[in-house]
Chain A
Amino acid sequence: MSTLDTIIIDGLAFALPMFIMAIGGIFSEKSGITNLALEGLQGFGAFCGGLTAVLMLRSFEGSSQIPYYVSFIAAIAGGMIYSLIHVALCIKFRANQVISGVVVNILAVALTVFLAKRINDGVFGQPSNKFVLETSVRFSVPGLSRIPVIGAIFKNVYPFEVMIIVIAALMWFVMYRTPFGMHLRACGDNPHAADAAGINVNRVRTIAVMISGGLSAIAGMSYAYSITSNFSPDIFLGYGYLSIAALIFGNWSVLPTLGACLIFGFARSSGQALITQLGMPSSYNDLVRILPYLLTLLLLIFFSKHNNSPRALGEIYDKGKR
């Protein structure tokens, strides 16, 4: 396989989960709730999914794909439930949404590590904070994958990448074509207008944050099945924050955000390819890992000045305000 193929394959595998997480962020922020909690949501989702997979693998044969898909469903459910903490803090208890996001993230680390240790100790009888997963199987599309360069898109694809693309398209439709999407965007621009039109602002926002929880969990689970090949505290590497940077850079709309995610993904994979090509020691990988973060900062420098964040973003909606 050529280096270019590797760059494309690895880049997509990194970028697409980030993209679905960023879509979750867009849902939340377009409804008016700042969501720094993506990091914690993806981690908690990965925890739930990882646990489910490990438990199921004991009763299914090694080749069965059922645990793989069930673990994604469990991750989504876990992410959505865990996002209710952000909902409660932001909507019910009217906390500062930035603080709430940070708190939810800190709790996610503490809670998942604690639970993982306890469960490993209690159920599996081994002291560890990891759920070891197999790296997901991959497939290549016959024919298409033989096309030079572009064919790499169809080569060694993780099943979750397909899932993400389908869900992303669906989410785009929900956001821009359905009544719910229209209500959601209205809540983020002028919640008073939405309220006057008979829309329950807090309900819409609750659903939006839960959607972000579910989508982030897909991302977390995808990373657990690819980059880390386990659930461990290593899942909290700031990818959630990177996806926030991606959506800011993408100006809160879906397609430009995809572009941002792809840039991060390819920056990362080409850096790693470079290290391999030059035959440098593995410790140099740490230098390459900086790339997505550094790129984020640089891109933000150029794109933060005139962004169109949703007008009511971060404001606590107070209906009874006189």
Chain B
Amino acid sequence: MKKLIVKLMGGERFQTMRVSLFCIITSLIVGAAILLAIGKNPLAAFGNLLQGSGLMPKSSYAGRQNMFTDFMSFLDALTPMIFASLAVSAALKAGLFNIGVSGIMLASGFTASVLVGQSELSAFIAKPLVILIGIAVGAIVGALIGWLKYKFNINEVVSSIMINYILMYIITFFINTFFVDPISRQSKTITDSARLTLSGTRAFDLKFDVSLAFPLAIICAIVIKFLFDRTTTGFEIKAVGLSRKAAKYAGMSVPKNIILSMTVSGALAGLAGVTYFCGYFASIQPGVVPSMGFNAIAVALLGNSDPIGCIFSSFLVTVISKGSIYMSSQQGVEMEIADLITSVILIFTACAEFLKMYVGRLSMEQGGSEEAGEA
């Protein structure tokens, strides 16, 4: 057993990736155990997840729908998740936990919905404007959290959670008071020209959604990757994240880099907000903080806070969350099991560092015993 563990995860090549994979597979096994315990077939349930995400064909489809339409809808859900996890990882690089992604998403989504979503602007102006508003609102809130951190030494976890609730209640108040749709009890639906998703596009006899921002998410991931790996700014942010004292000693500005990384993180969270509330959805439910902001923490950790890693981990978590609707209807299981599996993944990911250390120690021991055996 120990030998197997070392074989699977020992050595330095792609170790992080292999450890992540190990965490995912173990979590899926735990998920399967839960499903078995409540009398469901885990393989069928996991298959439903893939089917619901358009990665495997379902047995039957409604008119004008097939696997492709499911997949397009999956991409639409994936887009904000990529932005949200990039937001968390951008802050993590500077050693900060941005738990405020949820609140920022609400704030940017709401601002864009109100300023552009109800206007008569043409799509060519409205859509870029929505994106710009998302970036601006997110950046401002992110910078505020960073500023509170360096100026007043307020733990960013506590401050960002306070800001989450403050934003949630303010927005709930405004929606309920001024922007409520009397039938759906949600905020008024935004216009199609402001929406970042082309909903109900018709082609090849199909009707599907097109996420216009998906390419932007991929580009953002690459840009962020470049920023952190190849620029002096990224070098400074990473140094600040790993050792504030050493960074200061080396002549870097700790406050500047903390605020900068939180601003970038906020801007990305803002993009997550507009692609979620003005893309995947077209309205906001009052009184709730979107859980995507919290799941994004899991996703970013799972992706080892690497931007490219985030794409893959977002993909996985979105398969679970998006597919859970279909699974729920097919298997009669509560949809929350998806959140449960995601949290289990998160627990294992939190132990990833320990796993690496443990594997290192095991392989050292085994190396030692082999030498003794030869002698």
Q: Is the CB of A283 within 8 A of B346?
A: no
Judge whether B163 is part of the interface by a CB distance below 8 angstroms.
yes
Which residues on the B side are within 8 Å of A211 (C-beta)? none
Out of B169, B336, B354, which one reaches A110, CB within 8 Å? B336
Which residues on the A side are within 8 Å of B350 (C-beta)? 89, 93, 95-96, 99-100, 103
Q: Is the CB of A287 within 8 A of B294?
A: no
Judge whether A169 is part of the interface by a CB distance below 8 angstroms.
no
Which candidate, A2-10, A69-77, A214-222, A291-299, is the interface stretch facing chain B?
A291-299
Which candidate, B68-76, B150-158, B194-202, is the interface stretch facing chain A?
B150-158
- Bound Cα distance A233, B336 (Å): 12
Interface size on B, residues (CB 8 A): 45
Q: Is the CB of B169 within 8 A of A300?
A: no
Judge whether B97 is part of the interface by a CB distance below 8 angstroms.
yes
A99, A113, A118, A238 — most chain B CB neighbours (10 Å): A99
Where chain A touches its partner, the secondary structure class is helix
Judge whether A15 is part of the interface by a CB distance below 8 angstroms.
no
Q: A95-B354, A100-B350, A110-B339 are in contact. Are A241 and B162 (CB under 8 A)?
A: yes
Instruction: Return the chain A residue nearest B156 by Cβ.
Output: A98
A-side interface size class? 35 or more
- Bound Cα distance A89, B353 (Å): 11
Q: Is the CB of B152 within 8 A of A304?
A: yes
- Bound Cα distance A90, B9 (Å): 22
How far does the Cβ of A303 sit from chain B's closest Cβ, in whole Å?
9
Which residues on the A side are within 8 Å of B193 (C-beta)? none
- Bound Cα distance A289, B168 (Å): 10
Instruction: Return the chain B residue nearest A309 by Cβ.
Output: B155
Q: Is the CB of A89 within 8 A of B346?
A: no
Which residues on the B side are within 8 Å of A238 (C-beta)? 161-162, 164-165
Judge whether A196 is part of the interface by a CB distance below 8 angstroms.
no
Which residues on the B side are within 8 Å of A287 (C-beta)? 169-170, 173
Judge whether A245 is part of the interface by a CB distance below 8 angstroms.
yes
Q: Is the CB of A117 within 8 A of B158?
A: no
Judge whether B65 is part of the interface by a CB distance below 8 angstroms.
no
Which residues on the B side are within 8 Å of A289 (C-beta)? 165, 169
Which residues on the B side are within 8 Å of A121 (C-beta)? 334
Q: Is the CB of A290 within 8 A of B347?
A: no
How far does the Cβ of A260 sit from chain B's closest Cβ, in whole Å?
13
Q: Is the CB of B158 within 8 A of A106?
A: no
Enumerate chain B interface residues (CB-CB to A < 8 A).
38, 97, 99, 148, 152-155, 157-159, 161-166, 169-170, 172-173, 176-177, 287, 291, 294-295, 297-298, 301, 334, 336-337, 339-340, 342-344, 346-347, 350-351, 353-354, 357
Known: A300-B158, A305-B152. 9 other contacts (CB 8 A): A103-B298, A103-B343, A110-B342, A117-B334, A241-B158, A241-B161, A294-B166, A304-B155, A307-B153
